[in-house]
Amino acid sequence: MTRILIVEDEESFSDPLSYLLTKEGYEVSVVEDGGEALERFEREGADLVLLDLMLPGMSGTEVCRHIRQKSNVPVIMLTAKDSEIDKVVGLEIGADDYVTKPYSSRELVARVRAVLRRQGEPEELVSTTVAAGPVRMDVERHVVSVDGEQVSLPLKEFELLEMLLRNSGRVLTRGQLIDRVWGSDYVGDTKTLDVHVKRLRSKIEPDPSSPRYLVTVRGLGYKFEP
């Protein structure tokens, strides 16, 4: 059974969300602070984490940072803050998505379902190994190497890089990338994509400030130059 860990200190949010996810057939655990969240994650693991940004004790950003050091499990940040800075920080430390309160519990459940579906769906192409330039991906094993050195990528960065490599040399619009990686039901702007591209560059480019491989095509989107 798919396990979801909810890290939320407000019962008015966690209770209806837990109820709906349980009805959908997920195994749900709820904790109220960051320290307990890490202990539970270490002990039981999870297939997806719904993580509140504002927690008593350890903040949601710190929890996400600790999780990312050990796992590529999808993380969706939940917060009452609607600041662009908060969104960027959350995404830069490895969150896969960012949802601002108040949100519809049913809509959030749909987004959870979409993330898990994309994570578990079989590859459309026969090849499970993709390579271009210095980057090589083993899709089946979720392994990426750059010039022979293995790098760790969260789920969304992995999916984004895979799509760019499979279309090496072609320009992909922001809309195409968002639809494929976040799904056509994604609610948000293109800032999420830009943040993930920035994080990818920091891991695959010799000089991230002057990209050689993952290049911006002004007014259109991005492409991977082999």
Lowest mean pLDDT among 125-129, 178-182, 216-220: 125-129
Look up residue 162 and give its amino acid.
Answer: E
- pTM (predicted TM-score): 0.57
Query: Average pLDDT in the 146-171 region?
Result: 92
CA end-to-end span of the chain: 40
**Residue intervals in the chain for CATH 1.10.10.10:** 129-224
- Return the CATH class of domain 3-120: alpha beta
Lowest mean pLDDT among 107-111, 127-131, 138-142: 127-131
DSSP-assigned letters across all residues of 19-52: HHHHHTT-EEEEESSHHHHHHHHHHH--SEEEEE
Distance CA(201)–CA(204), nearest Å, equals 5
The strand pair at 48-52 and 75-79 is best described as: parallel
Give the percent of the chain with pLDDT over 70. 89
Residue 64 has pLDDT above 60, yes or no: yes
Distance CA(169)–CA(217), nearest Å, equals 11
Query: Average pLDDT in the 128-142 region?
Result: 88
Residue 176 has pLDDT above 90, yes or no: no
Mean of all residue pLDDT scores within the chain: 86
Specify the pLDDT at position 83: 56
Q: Are 71 and 5 in contact (CB under 8 A)?
A: no
Q: What is the CATH number of domain 129-224?
A: 1.10.10.10
Buried b (16+ CB within 10 A) or exposed e, 31-56: bbbbeebbebbeeeebbbbbbbbbbe
State the number of CA atoms in the 13 A half-sphere of 36 facing the CB. Answer: 13
DSSP state of 76: E
**Residue intervals in the chain for CATH 3.40.50.2300:** 3-120
| Confidence band of 189 (pLDDT split at 50, 70, 90) | confident
Specify the pLDDT at position 107: 79
Instruction: Give the residues across from 214 on adjacent strands.
Output: 224
Residue 185 has pLDDT above 90, yes or no: no
Instruction: Give the residues across from 97 on adjacent strands.
Output: 76
